[in-house]
Amino acid sequence: MGVGVQNQSLVLVLGAGASYPYGFPTGPELVRDIYSKFRNNFKRLHPGAKPEASAEVSEFVNTLRRSRLDSIDTFLESIPRYRKIGKLAIACALLPLEKGDFPQRDDRGADDWYRHLHNWLRSPQIKNYPRHNVAIITYNYDRSLDFYLGDALLNTYGIPPWASSDNAGFLSAVRRAMLRVPICHVHGQLGFLDWQKTTDGVPFDSRDVDARLKHAEIAAANIKIIYEEEIGQSMELKQAHRILSRASRLVFLGFGYDPVNLERLRLGETLPVGVEIDGTTYCRTKKEMEDIRSVIEGCARADEKKHAIILRNMRNLEFIREEGLFLG
């Protein structure tokens, strides 16, 4: 969530690999989590569910498993009748993974790129935040980056994160600061954080068992399956296009480079001439990297619009440090 981009910005486009270091699944892992766990998750949310509801869940997970697809988005776009239950399944799989202490898959924090981004954006005073222009387009439903940056602001500037009425002004300052870092969730998000919106709120790392169903339903309602509305009517895609039109450099982090997702960004139309396009391709083969480059070149009309393309087989933070993205 964020306001329009006012000046030329470094634009980050995030895929599942960007939040993977913070305990979230890749696309194929999310699919497996859903078809292996959603039956039990649904029973916990609806202990008195009617037999036909349980039968629908079983049909959904069995069909998902046998589809052999690597993306839940692709599956739900293909079979519209599963969209409602599929959104709930996504929410049930991801909400428990939103942890405020941000457990690292690597104890040494070897890929903790959120920390480096926060320190690069930090300014001496919150009124001057961020120190650098950056805008973010994410294909992830989780709010881990949104929460991380907002929580870091609260604690960086000595603003007490507890209580509510006494620190309304502080939260307002955080909200204004965070809105200067546009974060566009192309596929929606698991509800809104308190500084983002006053309605459809879902707390990050909620421990309220009694509110589990309510939070899951709100989160599901805020997930967007891209074909639910005409592409041209998607507010999220329109915001993404505005962000890209002001890009000074475009960087893909943890992105899967699905051709459909790339095409929807309309890089050939939105990106200014001469913008460098960089990206991580961690664990990709040489042939796969060549294919990814070819897809990007086609979508961005790279030769015509003079876009240099740099792809590196590196993790997020390694790439950021090697390219000097967060220096200065």
Tell which residue, 235, 207, 238, has the closest CA to residue 222: 235
Distance (Å, whole) CA 88 – CA 99: 19
- Does the pLDDT at position 2 exceed 60? no
Mean pLDDT of the chain: 90
Q: State the pLDDT at residue 49.
A: 80
Quote the percentage of the chain above a pLDDT of 70. Answer: 90
**Would you place residue 209 in the very low, low, confident or very high pLDDT band (cuts 50, 70, 90)?**
confident
Residue 192: strand pairing partners? 201
Domain covering 1-23+102-188+224-328, topology: Rossmann fold (3.40.50)
Contact 77, 226 (CB under 8 A): yes
Q: State the pLDDT at residue 195.
A: 79
Q: State the pLDDT at residue 197.
A: 77
| Average pLDDT over every residue of 115-141 | 95
pTM score of the predicted model: 0.92
- The residue assigned the tokens 């709010």 is 143
Highest average pLDDT, of 1-5, 124-128, 263-267, comes from 263-267
**Would you place residue 163 in the very low, low, confident or very high pLDDT band (cuts 50, 70, 90)?**
very low
Buried b (16+ CB within 10 A) or exposed e, 41-53: bbeebeeeeeeee
- CA angle 20–246–134, rounded 5-degree value: 40
- pLDDT for 225-252, tens place per residue? 886 556 667 899 999 999 999 999 999 9
Q: Are strands 309-312 and 134-138 parallel, antiparallel or unpaired?
A: unpaired
DSSP alpha helix (H) spans, 48-143? 51-67, 72-78, 83-94, 113-121
Q: Which token pair is 139?
A: 């294909």
Residue 188: strand pairing partners? 223
| Average pLDDT over every residue of 102-112 | 72
| Whether residue 272 has a cis bond before it, omega within 30° of 0 | no
Selected residue with higher pLDDT from 66 and 175: 66
Q: State the pLDDT at residue 4.
A: 47
Distance (Å, whole) CA 258 – CA 77: 14
- The residue assigned the tokens 């086609």 is 298
Q: Where exactly are the structural domains of the chain?
A: 1-23+102-188+224-328, 27-97
Q: State the pLDDT at residue 166.
A: 52
Q: State the pLDDT at residue 108.
A: 56
The length of the chain, given as a count of residues: 328
Q: State the pLDDT at residue 3.
A: 46
| Average pLDDT over every residue of 139-158 | 91
Distance (Å, whole) CA 297 – CA 275: 12
| Amino acid at residue number 150 | G
Q: State the pLDDT at residue 241.
A: 96
- pLDDT for 32-85, tens place per residue? 999 999 999 999 998 888 888 889 999 999 999 999 999 999 999 999 899 999
Residue 280: strand pairing partners? 312
DSSP alpha helix (H) spans, the chain? 16-19, 27-45, 51-67, 72-78, 83-94, 113-121, 144-156, 168-179, 212-221, 235-245, 259-264, 267-270, 286-300, 302-305, 316-323
| Average pLDDT over every residue of 112-132 | 94
Q: State the pLDDT at residue 159.
A: 62
- pLDDT for 266-323, tens place per residue? 999 999 999 999 999 999 999 999 999 999 999 999 999 999 999 999 999 999 999 9
Q: State the pLDDT at residue 199.
A: 79
- pLDDT for 184-202, tens place per residue? 999 999 999 987 877 779 9
Could you give the strand order of the β-sheet that contains 134-138, starting from the edge strand earlier in sequence? Answer: 183-185, 134-138, 9-14, 247-253, 276-280, 309-312
Q: State the pLDDT at residue 230.
A: 60
Tell me phi and psi for residue 133, to 5 degrees.
-80, 120
**69-75: long-range pairs with CB below 8 Å, 24+:** 69/31, 70/27, 70/28, 70/31, 71/27, 71/28, 71/31, 71/258, 72/27, 72/30, 72/31, 72/34, 73/187, 73/225, 73/226, 75/31
